[in-house]
Structure 1
Amino acid sequence: MTVTIDWENLGFSYMKLPYRYIAHFKNGQWDQGELTEDATLHISESSPSLHYGQQAFEGLKAYRTKDGGIQLFRPDENAKRLQRTCDRLLMPQVPTDMFVEACKAVVRANEEYVPPYGTGGTLYLRPLLIGVGDIIGVKPAEEYIFTIFAMPVGNYFKGGLVPTNFLIQDEYDRAAPNGTGAAKVGGNYAASLLPGKLAKSRHFSDVIYLDPSTHTKIEEVGSANFFGITADNEFVTPLSPSILPSITKYSLLYLAEHRLGLTPIEGDVPIDNLDRFVEAGACGTAAVISPIGGIQHGDDFHVFYSETEVGPVTRKLYDELTGIQFGDIEAPEGWIVKVD
């Protein structure tokens, strides 16, 4: 079969591919799981995932390398994060080996849809875990479905890596102080839809959320993690129990220290002390890094490096990480899993 796709103009949208993975949890254990061509999940109308939000998901990518090979970037870390989310929502953990092997199986089955090297495109994988069964009342499900589907996606930045502006909205919180902010659950994203729409209506890329307790410290940027670069060569990211622990962020923390010689710092990022940063950005799986040009907070607009140009450190971090992901730069041990 020959796939006809305009690889240079892929966006970030759903595309039904031939195969996906599905496994069922019943009677206290997972079955063997299998690949299927059925893109529809058949579940009870009373499934707890539909009514009470007992569901979790992940996001990761497969990359085509220069020699034609395919590799995953730190899928074991996605498995571990999903396991932490499972613990928070009283869902059965998906074992790491099961998770990684299922990802590899989906990539192999849809290999023709992995974008060619050099296009900037990747095969995006969406693992999803949902509570199912005939349950009414707020309690955990007894049965679960774990599935992984995939789609080719393009380079996040159509015109290259460019800064955009973000809006701080004090009247909305992404998560409660002791809620599910550190878990990758759909409810966190549902809560961001309205403030995100309002920010975009004012021509900002997205919302920057402050800490829910005091509204004085930066926590997250849309659905990504914030980072700032100081004049003293520090790589600073917020630290809070209500922030989703980004695999991209922790990868950048490591690379900032061990490849660029920066000092990594996790701590408070007060909004009244943004002058300490000469560069800033948001990081996550979709864009890797989104450079932040400026931040609007009330009547104040703060510009970091530039509204039109990417800072030199941000550029180096982006090139280093994407070089590792596409196999052009040697990766730290254990970061890359080959799909053979």
Structure 2
Amino acid sequence: MTVEKKGTSNADKMDWDKLGFAYIKTDLRYVSVWKNGKWDEGKLTEDNMLTISEGSTSLHYGQQCFEGLKAYRTKDGKIQLFRPDQNAKRMAASCKRLLMPEISEEKFIDACVQVVKANADYVPPYGTGATLYLRPYVIGVGDNLGVRTAPEFIFSVFCSPVGAYFKGGLAPVNFCITDYDRAAPQGTGAAKVGGNYAASLHPHEEAVKRGFADCIYLDPATHTKIEEVGAANFFGITKDGKFVTPKSDSILPSITKYSLMAVAKEYLGLQVEERDVFIKQLDEFSEAGACGTAAVITPIGGIEYNGKLHVFHSETEVGPVTRKLYETLCGIQFGEVKAPAGWIVEAK
């Protein structure tokens, strides 16, 4: 492992209680280059700037993908990653979809652990609710002009401390249905690629201007089924106590969602169903939420559809099952609740 470091750390200047979800330059990041058919060993570097060819495929043709995961400080001071093997598998699938060289699970996890250990002073203290967010990414680079896969690639992992998502406590927010599509049928919806997020910027802005937290995307083929809630996955708790979440080839396979499915079944004893969720059948749910890495769970107070707001449990109070799901999964992530085998990787 090569380390390029010249400056000094600013970790001792952090105000953990004032962190938001924003970029903060940390001491070191990991960079590896794919050239002549293979990845190099990779190194840690202090430089947070990339210099790439103006012809890079990532700039012109969107040949890039990324991941998001967190490192958590436990009560006894340990630092642990939550299910990085699942992020590695998803990134490999995204790379395959975009004709980019895959990152092995071993290399991916090793890079993440190196970055966490090198920036350990930036992992927020236990009890603040704050975490160290990791952003692995792969981009196509090198001199190129035509629409083709890149001659070279960069795999990098950087990190930034982020604050507790809910500053005022877990609280429901409202969403609206959009007529825009997040992804095309048989497109890149199941891959974590930048183009999916670029396409969501305008619908999100429209929803916020109308007073909603974000918009909900329906399936692109029929516009009858819920797919994603902004940049997160949807789940609902039926009136007879089942945990239900949409199933579709154009939904990003959320690691948080699949973790919540396991928590619902193994910890809460709920029946779990991954299936179609029709927008006209919202009455079957007593609670609903959006789930993802950043917030874990964002409770959904209501969904506006065809000019009418359908309210679930409450617009002001979190449903009991949603709260228990949130507390249990957060407990696992911060080391307060025993995790299923293989879910935790300690950075040591």
TM range (shorter): over 0.9
Using the aligned pairs only, state the percent identity.
67
**Matched residue, 1:278:** 286
Q: How far is 1:106 from its partner?
A: 0.4
Q: How far is 1:231 from its partner?
A: 1.6
1:85 aligns with 2:94: yes
Q: Mind listing any 5+ residue stretches in structure 1 that lack a counterpart?
A: none
Select the residue among 136, 150, 165 that pairs with 2:159: 150
Q: Counterparts of 2:135 and 2:218 in 1: how far apart (Å)? A: 28
**Matched AA of 1:107:** V
Which secondary structure state, in structure 2, belongs to the residue aligned with residue 127 of structure 1?
strand
Taking the TM superposition and a 5 Å limit, the aligned residue runs for 1:166-181 are 166-170=175-179, 172-181=180-189
**Matched residue, 1:200:** 208
Q: How far is 1:9 from its partner?
A: 1.5
Q: Counterparts of 1:155 and 1:245 in 2: how far apart (Å)? A: 24
**Matched AA of 2:287:** E
**Matched residue, 2:344:** 336
**Matched residue, 2:276:** 268
1:162 aligns with 2:176: no
**Matched residue, 1:239:** 247
**Matched residue, 2:120:** 111
Q: How far is 1:298 from its partner?
A: 2.2
Q: Counterparts of 1:318 and 1:130 in 2: how far apart (Å)? A: 34
**Matched residue, 1:219:** 227
Taking the TM superposition and a 5 Å limit, the aligned residue runs for 1:4-43 are 4-43=13-52
Which secondary structure state, in structure 1, belongs to the residue aligned with residue 260 of structure 2?
helix
Q: Counterparts of 1:216 and 1:47 in 2: how far apart (Å)? A: 39
Cα RMSD between the aligned structures?
0.7
Which secondary structure state, in structure 1, belongs to the residue aligned with residue 274 of structure 2?
strand
**Matched AA of 1:117:** Y
Q: Counterparts of 2:305 and 2:204 in 1: how far apart (Å)? A: 15
Q: How far is 1:8 from its partner?
A: 1.1
Q: How far is 1:60 from its partner?
A: 0.2
Which secondary structure state, in structure 2, belongs to the residue aligned with residue 192 of structure 1?
helix
Q: How far is 1:265 from its partner?
A: 0.3
1:150-201: CA deviations, max 9, x gaps?
Answer: 000001011000000001012x000001100000000000000000000001
Q: Counterparts of 1:66 and 1:216 in 2: how far apart (Å)? A: 45
Q: Counterparts of 2:254 and 2:157 in 1: how far apart (Å)? A: 20
**Matched AA of 1:162:** A
Q: Counterparts of 2:141 and 2:307 in 1: how far apart (Å)? A: 47
Which secondary structure state, in structure 2, belongs to the residue aligned with residue 123 of structure 1?
strand
**Matched residue, 2:57:** 48
TM-score, normalization: structure 1? 0.99
Which secondary structure state, in structure 2, belongs to the residue aligned with residue 3 of structure 1?
helix
**Matched AA of 1:203:** G
**Matched AA of 1:173:** D
**Matched residue, 1:254:** 262
